[in-house]
Structures are given as structure tokens and as C-alpha cells.
Amino acid sequence: MNENGTLRYLGEAYDSVRHSVEPIWVALNSDVAMQAYLLLAAMALIAYGVVAISRTLRETALAIRGAVRRF
């Protein structure tokens, strides 16, 4: 294949990939997708908060139990 044939082949491959990926890219940048991302981020933050609070409460309960046993 000569240089022009190679460039034409690469151009056709690029166009094919671009046409395949473009609808996905548009969907990912839509308002619905952004709302879904924000919802997932909020759920992850809530889960992290629940884990952090439960660990803190458990450690506090263990500390109180240890202090009561010392008296």
C-alpha cells in the first residue's frame, strides 16, 4: 500500500470509529447522564458518611466500655 492508500485507510478507520462512538459520547454528555453521575456521587458520599459514623460510634462505645471496666 502506498502512502496515499495508507492515509485513506486511516481516515476511513477514524471515521468509522468516530461514527460508532459519537452517540455514546453525546449520551454521556446529556443532562440525564449528568444527573445520574450526581446521584451516584451523592450515594457514594452517603455510604462513606454512614461507614465513618458507624466506625466512630463503635470506637466510642468501645472506649466507654473500657473506661467503665477500669472503675
- Tally of structural domains, the chain: 1
Confidence of residue 1 (pLDDT cuts 50, 70, 90): low
**Domain extent for 58:** 3-70
Give tens-digit pLDDT for 53-64: 999 999 999 999
2: left (phi over 0), alpha (psi -120 to 50) or beta: beta
pTM: 0.54
Other Cβ atoms closer than 10 A to 31: 7
How far apart are alpha carbons 66 and 54 in whole angstroms? 18
pLDDT given for residue 31 in this prediction: 86
pLDDT given for residue 2 in this prediction: 58
